[in-house]
């Protein structure tokens, strides 16, 4: 077998065997991992299961000309882990389903699997099952993750109350700036370190599992969401689910320095990237004022990840952006259809 062979040359069974070989021995909670009809997990006492699934479709979510396949594999798992992080759940296992064009090279298949398994290792998310089928069209990578959390610690979108303050992790707009830089044809080696960080965020977003777990366990947050579709969408989702309104302070949104620099060079608006660009996969939390001190104390254990207050929830419905004295409607995030 040579890596320049296509996956069609190799066939489904050989591909599955190849995937299986790359999977390390699973942690103890996996009673039965890959290789049987289904996987078996031991439940954690006193915890509930948290499940989510998401797929990346070629030419909808990524282009092979722009994004290396190891990054596609990494990101397919990352976006799912980000959802677990938002709920305050720990990851327990992942399932992978692939639809592959027959012309895909075995070396490309290997790269995609290695990208996914790298994050699986770092995040202690064992891959316990997989399915591979041929696609007559685009490459599709579909991941399901299983998490678990204590029942009363699970964070949803709907628990926010009027007066709660909104806090966001990290820096925003980086992913959109990174994508814009790639689309402009900027050569990777020429990117300065800030912009390279933006491209890295677009390709390999870091799911905020630790921050999500710590926030949930601190019992200081009333609602949370991960920012897959931008800050504006996240705020709107929390406000809608919590049946309140919200105001975001334009001047307080933490715009990534690389996004700011690339925006200046291309006459773009980095705030728009932060609000609507999406794919930063940071977390947004609602925190009651009386819990602010405990919440901020808990964030000290986030291993250097910063947190910024960006607005608050209001009794009056409607979601607004405050620029100076003016209130304007907060635009929506990235819309898939």
Binding site for Mg ion (CB under 5 A): 83, 226, 228
Instruction: Identify which of residues 206 and 226 has a Cβ nearer to Mg ion in the complex.
Output: 226
Strand, helix or coil for residue 311: strand
Quick one: 15 or 80, whose CB is closer to Mg ion? 80
* Nearest CB to Mg ion, comparing residues 70 and 229: 229
Q: How far is the CB of 201 from Mg ion (least distance, A)?
A: 17
Cα-based distances in Å from 256 to 196, 269, 272, 321 = 12, 12, 12, 19
Closer of 281 and 295 to Mg ion (Cβ)? 281
**Cβ neighbourhood burial of 16 (10 Å; 0-12, 13-18, 19+):** middle
Handedness of CA 68, 173, 94, 121 (dihedral sign): positive
Task: Provide the minimum distance between the beta carbon of 227 and Mg ion in the complex, in angstroms, as a whole number.
Answer: 8
For residues 214 and 45, what is the distance between their CA atoms, to the nearest angstrom?
Answer: 19
Per-residue burial over 190-214, b if 16 or more Cβ lie within 10 Å, else e, is: ebeebbbbbbbbbbebbbbbbbbbb
Nearest approach, Cβ of 226 to Mg ion (angstroms)? 4
Edge-to-edge strand ranges of the sheet holding 326-329: 223-226, 283-287, 165-169, 307-314, 245-249, 319-323, 326-329
Q: What is the DSSP string of 185-205?
A: T--GGG--HHHHHHHHHHHS-
Strand 223-226 to 307-314 pairing: unpaired
Sort 24 into a burial class: Cβ within 10 Å, 0-12 / 13-18 / 19+. exposed
Min dist CB 193 to Mg ion, Å, is 29
Shortest reach from residue 281's CB to Mg ion, in Å: 9
Closest approach, Cβ 57 to Mg ion, in A, equals: 17
Cβ proximity to Mg ion: between 226 and 280 the closer is 226
Is 94:137 a contact under the CB 8 Å cutoff? no
Select 26 or 147, whichever has its Cβ closest to Mg ion. 147
Which CB, 34 or 242, lies closer to Mg ion? 242
Name the minimum Å distance from CB 18 to Mg ion: 31
Among residues 164 and 226, whose Cβ is nearest to Mg ion? 226
Q: In what order do the strands lie in the sheet with 140-150?
A: 47-57, 140-150, 90-101, 127-135
For the bound state, the minimum distance from the C-beta of residue 83 to Mg ion, rounded and expressed in Å, comes to 4
Q: Is there a contact between 141 and 109 (Cβ–Cβ < 8 Å)?
A: no
The answer to whether the CB of 311 falls within 8 A of the CB of 232 is no
């Amino acid at each position: 077998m040579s890596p320049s062979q296509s996956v069609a040359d190799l066939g489904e069974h050989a591909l599955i065997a190849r995937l299986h070989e790359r999977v390390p021995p699973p942690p103890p909670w996996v009673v039965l991992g890959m290789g049987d009809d289904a996987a078996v997990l031991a439940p954690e006492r006193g915890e509930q299961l948290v499940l989510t699934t998401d797929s990346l479709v070629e030419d909808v979510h990524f282009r092979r000309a722009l994004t290396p396949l190891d990054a596609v594999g990494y990101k397919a798992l990352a976006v799912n882990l980000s959802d677990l992080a938002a709920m305050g759940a720990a990851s327990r296992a992942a399932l992978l389903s692939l639809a592959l064009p027959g012309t895909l090279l075995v070396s490309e298949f290997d790269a995609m699997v290695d990208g996914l398994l790298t994050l699986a290792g770092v995040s202690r998310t064992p891959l316990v099952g997989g399915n591979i089928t041929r696609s007559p069209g685009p490459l599709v990578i579909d991941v399901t993750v299983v998490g678990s959390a204590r029942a009363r610690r699970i964070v949803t979108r709907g628990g926010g109350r009027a007066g709660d303050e909104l806090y966001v992790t990290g820096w925003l707009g980086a992913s959109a700036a990174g994508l814009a830089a790639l689309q402009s044809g900027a050569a990777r080696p020429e990117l300065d370190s800030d912009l390279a960080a933006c491209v890295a965020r677009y390709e390999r977003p870091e799911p905020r599992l630790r921050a999500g777990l710590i926030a949930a366990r601190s019992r200081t947050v009333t609602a949370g969401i991960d920012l897959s579709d931008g800050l504006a969408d996240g705020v709107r989702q929390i406000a809608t689910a919590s049946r309140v309104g919200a105001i975001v302070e334009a001047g307080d949104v933490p715009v990534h320095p690389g996004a700011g620099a690339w925006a200046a060079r291309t006459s773009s608006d980095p705030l728009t990237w932060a609000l609507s660009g999406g794919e930063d996969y940071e977390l947004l939390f609602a925190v009651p004022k009386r819990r602010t001190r405990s919440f901020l104390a808990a964030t000290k254990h986030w291993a250097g990840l910063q947190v910024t207050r960006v607005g608050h929830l209001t009794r009056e419905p409607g979601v607004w952006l405050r620029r100076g004295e003016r209130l304007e409607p907060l635009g929506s995030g990235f819309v898939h259809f």
